[in-house]
Amino acid sequence: MTAFPARAVLASWAPARPGLVLGITALTLAAITAEALDTGFVPTTAATIAVGLLCLAALLAPPEHLSRTGWSAVTASAALSLLTAQLPHRPEHTPGMAEMVMLLLLVARTVRHEPPARMIPLASAAWLAAPLVLLRLPGTEHVTAAKYGLPLLLLALPVVVVLGLYLRLLDATREREKNARLNAQRLEYARELHDFVGHHVTAITAQVKAVRFTTAAGHPPTPQALDQALANIEDAAVQATDSMRAMVGLLRQPDRSAPLHVPQGLHSLHDLADSLRASGPDVCLTLDPRLLAAPPADHISSTAYHVVREALTNIRKHAAQADIVTIDVRLSADAGALTVCVSDHAAQPSDAPPPRPGSGGFGITGLRERVHALGGNLTAGPSPAGGWQVAAEIPVGHHTAPGPS
């Protein structure tokens, strides 16, 4: 009999608890031994135990070994039944009911795990081997066994087949759910890559363009201004590298369920505003005092932060010469929703083509997915005052404004 690692054995019966599997296995071994001793003949006792262990191995083996162990168990069981029918020594009380039950369960497990090309032959052979066990009884008992045993076996066939199909359906459902989770995780990583790395790379590009533009216009930056620009570029490059290293490190970890970064909240909006302000435009940030006194849930604050950051990244790309950028984050009048609005007022558009309404790139697409997942809405398009505007409304549910002290 082939030996299998205990972990693989238990995993093949997930999500059953290991203690339950071990308990049933111990009872099955006891039943096999008792029925083997009932034969009263040492050779058939040893053979019955060996065949019972093969059947048990077929039930406990990992799915990839099911075909080999299953055929071994079925062949050995049928051979023992036919051989015992020719011997004068027969079991006195039971032909091997534990073995018969294991063969029926083998039918169910075959239907569950094997593809149709291997399922039909093995399941049929296992079911046919089950009634052959009745041949081990004394010849005078064959008529009685056929009268009562065969109808039960015929009824058991659809039951075990349906059981196997049901477990097969559950496995397929779990696999689909697992793939859905993996796809959602891949999308989350794509958003994080765009948000964290793309934001910093865009900042680098904006700084370089600013230096080149002023130099080409005949106003090269002073050494102090150039040093400050290079320091900003270096800082953005370091942050982009750290973000990339964090993502690669997470992908190498066995447990990939943790978030890529610590969620950024509303308190980090000032850093975003200062970062854009350093590259030229005047940034006006308005943050509702109620949000500072009673911040919303982390996932809502993080989503608002992502909206602002993506909007500022797009301003760097498409409105590098914007004069004023406004960031407005506040609660609605009834404190039931968090509204985020980022707009720019560009006197002269940059040489980069402005985005068209409804044609948002991966960043806007990811933002819509984030906001919609929270039951909110996000729009991006020309603002009434000119320029471009990104606006989001995110329900906060339980959040309430603090009462007067």
Does residue 278 have a pLDDT over 70? yes
Residue type for position 43: P
Q: What is the mean pLDDT of residues 165-175?
A: 93
Domain segments of the chain: what residues?
Answer: 6-137, 266-405
The pair phi, psi for residue 178, each rounded to 5°, is: -65, -45
Question: Which residue carries 């404190």 as its tokens?
Answer: 335
pLDDT of residue 340: 93
Sign of CA dihedral 98, 100, 101, 107: positive
Least-confidence region, from 59-63, 200-204, 332-336: 200-204
Q: Which helix (H) or strand (E) holds 214?
A: helix 199-216
SS3 344: strand
Q: How far is CA 148 from CA 125, 128, 163, in A?
A: 21, 16, 23
CATH topology of domain 266-405: Heat Shock Protein 90 (3.30.565)
Least-confidence region, from 86-100, 237-251, 262-276: 237-251
Report yes or no: 378 and 392 within 8 Å, Cβ to Cβ. yes
Which residues neighbour 96 within 8 Å (Cβ) at sequence distance 6 or greater? Answer: 35, 48, 52, 133, 136
Report yes or no: 110 and 157 within 8 Å, Cβ to Cβ. no
| pLDDT tens readout for residues 237-259 | 777 777 677 666 666 654 544 44
More confident residue, 122 or 354: 122
Which residues neighbour 319 within 8 Å (Cβ) at sequence distance 6 or greater? Answer: 344, 346, 349, 350, 354, 387, 388
Neighbours of 354 (CB within 10 A): 15
Question: Which residue carries 């191995």 as its tokens?
Answer: 57
SS3 399: coil
Which residues neighbour 256 within 8 Å (Cβ) at sequence distance 6 or greater? Answer: 185, 250
Tokens of 180: 């859905």
- Beta 282-287 vs 322-331: how paired, if at all? parallel
Put residue 374 in one of left, alpha, beta given phi > 0 → left and psi -120 to 50 → alpha: alpha
pLDDT of residue 318: 72
Does residue 351 have a pLDDT over 60? no
The counts of H helices and E strands in the chain are: 13, 5
| pLDDT tens readout for residues 363-375 | 677 788 888 888 8
Least-confidence region, from 49-53, 250-254, 333-337: 250-254
* DSSP string computed for 110-165: HHHHS-HHHHHHHHHHHHHHHHHGGGGS-GGGHHHHHHHHHHHHHHHHHHHHHHHH
